[in-house]
């Protein structure tokens, strides 16, 4: 699968944490893309690192929950896309402190996953970011049994084979982190299964403009599919690395269809 990026069709305003506990306003772009999709899919939504809150007169909600309803409102009125024929890929880091005023906050993101599932999408598949949790140990076990949070697995959904590696390289004593060898061995094992899409939270390193971890770049060697990642923002989100295409959707949403469309929402 190769994605061709198109125009930005929407922007979602939100609040996130700045320095010294200050809140800053930010804008999440929603961008179109096109690709050859399986017959069972009209669209594929890719997003990651939705760390912020959306504040309205009625309520304050996690950015990811707001994105779920916003995406559904964008794709369904197009006339060519149905929610039940739209897949969602989540790249991790979906939590924010309730006030959007704590940088690097870690917490429960189950409500974001639930918000996407409530829209009736064909599937919701993703990986765990290093700031994501799923409740206590018992709740996390139940959540993982009922949701496609991938870490070393490959699943088939709506004609796509999707593999995933959760977390980042780092101190294993901290949330969703593991040693470099462990992480890269998992990447290699998943890549060897040749899924159509390989989802990771942490990106490979492709130079100063596209920073990541060099060991991940090496682990992906020979993989010919689409890599979806986040964690470190790239101003230019798409890159080619040998046989693979990498799309970094940190703090952005990409809606991939067979052809570009303009929403009538």
pLDDT above 50 (res 71): yes
Is residue 262 assigned to a domain? no
* CATH code of the domain covering residue 34: 3.60.21.10
> In this predicted structure, which of 40-44, 70-74, 179-183 has the lowest mean pLDDT?
70-74
pLDDT above 60 (res 175): yes
Tokens 């896309």 belong to: 81
pLDDT higher for 258 or 87?
Answer: 87
Is residue 264 assigned to a domain? no
Model pLDDT, residue 82:
84
Is residue 119 assigned to a domain? yes
Looking at the structure of the chain, the number of domains it has is 1
Model pLDDT, residue 263:
39
The reported pTM is 0.95
Is residue 265 assigned to a domain? no
Can you give the residue range of the structural domain that contains 215?
A: 4-257
Model pLDDT, residue 264:
35
What average pLDDT is seen over the chain? 93
Is residue 126 assigned to a domain? yes
Range 153-162 average pLDDT: 97
Is residue 215 assigned to a domain? yes
pLDDT above 50 (res 78): yes
pLDDT, tens digit, for every residue of 206-217?
A: 998 999 999 999
């Amino acid at each position: 699968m190769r994605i061709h990026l198109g125009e930005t069709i929407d922007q979602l305003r939100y609040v996130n944490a700045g320095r010294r506990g200050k809140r800053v306003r930010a804008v999440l772009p929603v961008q179109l893309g096109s690709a050859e999709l399986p017959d069972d899919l009209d669209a594929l939504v890719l997003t990651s690192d939705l760390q912020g809150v959306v504040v309205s007169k009625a309520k304050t909600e996690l950015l990811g929950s707001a994105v779920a309803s916003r995406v559904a409102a964008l794709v369904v009125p197009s006339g060519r896309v149905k929610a039940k024929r739209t897949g969602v890929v989540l790249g991790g880091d979906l939590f924010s402190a309730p006030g959007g005023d704590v940088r690097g906050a870690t917490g429960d993101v189950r409500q974001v996953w639930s918000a996407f599932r409530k829209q009736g999408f064909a599937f919701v598949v993703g990986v765990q970011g290093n700031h994501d949790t799923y409740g206590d140990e018992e709740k996390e076990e139940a959540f993982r049994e009922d949701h496609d949070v991938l870490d070393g697995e490959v699943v088939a959904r709506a004609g796509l084979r999707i593999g995933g590696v959760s977390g980042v390289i780092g101190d294993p004593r901290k949330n969703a982190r593991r040693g470099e060898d462990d992480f890269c061995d998992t990447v290699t094992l998943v890549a060897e299964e040749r899924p159509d899409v390989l989802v990771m939270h942490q990106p490979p390193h492709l130079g100063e403009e596209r920073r990541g971890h060099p060991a991940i770049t090496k682990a992906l060697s020979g993989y010919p599919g689409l890599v979806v990642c986040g964690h470190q923002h790239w101003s230019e989100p798409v890159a080619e690395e040998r046989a693979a295409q990498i799309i970094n959707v940190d703090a952005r949403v990409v809606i991939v269809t067979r052809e570009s469309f303009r929403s009538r929402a």
